[in-house]
Amino acid sequence: MAYTEDKAFELVKSAHERERLGHAFLITGAAVAGGKRLASRMIEMVNGAHAATSGLELFGDAPDPEPQSIDELEGDLVRVVRSEMKSRRISVTQIRALEKSMYQASEKDKWKVGVVLEADRMGVEAENAFLKTLEEPPTNCLLLLITSNPDRLLPTILSRCVQLKLMTSDRREPYEGEAELLEVLGKIGKAGFGSVGRALTLKAAFSKVLDRRKLVIGKANEAAQKEEVLHYKQTTEGDWLKQRENYYKALTESEYLLERGQFLDVLITWLGDVVRQKSGVESLDYPAHAAVTKSVAESDSLESLLRRMEALEKLGDLLETNVSEPLALEVGFMQAFG
């Protein structure tokens, strides 16, 4: 079940007040910024919030202070693990350092908190190292994992965490390339769907974004593999290097497929806004593009718009099979926008 950030915090706060707070939480969902805010609120809940406020409200009451950011809270009590700049991976060394910090003495009645940002960036070795702390947590220890891709984590980690899935909000951080894709969608939409040439132009823009993202993912994982080989090649035997090569190939493919699905969702969501505009619904997922989606809604029938959305959903299902991606995209975009 998915929760708003406020509802998730209410549930956690209630458990804390009843002294039933779990020691490990997995905060998931596309609302990454919301996940970080929830983590900050949980940290201030167990260790006390800062005293600063932003002035008085209309009737003289002091408003609740905004939670500090993860970066502002980081210190002796709060350790934050992030993916390393070059490889975009979380290393075993980082996880072991986090584990060590959790067992260090702290002030009376204060909690040691470990936050793992983009937790799916842990490799198998790092995840296995993290399991030790999950299975044998010290007293007053709180572990917060934040990721939009929980399916990439080991089942043993998932089973040992309380999962809090957050609803997507309009403050979701955009995917890299999303704005570019929305711009092309708007131009094609204004010109009018129903043209083979425009459908193929949109398909070309979609493929361009995907190709660029696949290159970025591949280079990052290649760098991570090289770092791992340099670190472990003197202490391993047998076919370990080949296993790690296969692991990173599979990881690259998995990450690419996930992003491909996200960008397909962008198209479906944008068309959903067009349908809502056609039906007179005010709530939109892309309010900044309301003028464009309204224009498209006025130029296309509801039946046609629903057919286009259905074609994109079928394309998504087809891409889950072993079909040729370029062929599937060409046929799917022709059916959806041609």
Tell me the pLDDT tens digit for each residue of 165-200: 887 654 556 677 888 889 988 888 888 888 899 999
Most confident of 59-73, 133-147, 323-337: 323-337
Return the axis-axis angle of helices 240-279 and 196-232, rounded to nearest 10°.
150
**107 and 247 part of one domain:** no
The DSSP string of 205-224 is HHHHHHHHHHHHHHHHHHHH
Picking from 122, 146, 166, the residue at the C-terminal end of a domain is 166
Residue 172 lies in a domain: no
| Tokens standing for residue 306 | 């629903």
Tell me the average pLDDT across 232-258.
Answer: 73
Residue 201 lies in a domain: yes
- Pick the more confident residue, 309 or 30: 309
**300 and 236 part of one domain:** yes
CATH number at residue 100: 3.40.50.300
| Tokens standing for residue 84 | 């390393």
Residue 321: pLDDT band with limits 50, 70, 90: confident
For the chain, give the mean pLDDT. Answer: 83
**7 and 135 part of one domain:** yes
Query: Structure pTM?
Result: 0.56
Domain count across the chain: 2
Residue 326: pLDDT band with limits 50, 70, 90: very high
Residue 320: pLDDT band with limits 50, 70, 90: confident
Q: What angle do CA 213, 149, 2 make, to 5 degrees?
A: 130
The pLDDT of residue 31: 60
**CA distances from residue 132 to 98, 137, 144, 157, 309 in whole angstroms, order as listed:** 11, 8, 15, 10, 46
The pLDDT of residue 96: 92
Residue 224 lies in a domain: yes
Tell me the average pLDDT across 245-271.
Answer: 82
**144 and 75 part of one domain:** yes
Closest by alpha carbon to 8, among 51, 48, 54, 40?
40
- Provide the residue range defining the domain that includes 130: 2-166
Rg (alpha carbons) of the chain, rounded to whole number: 23
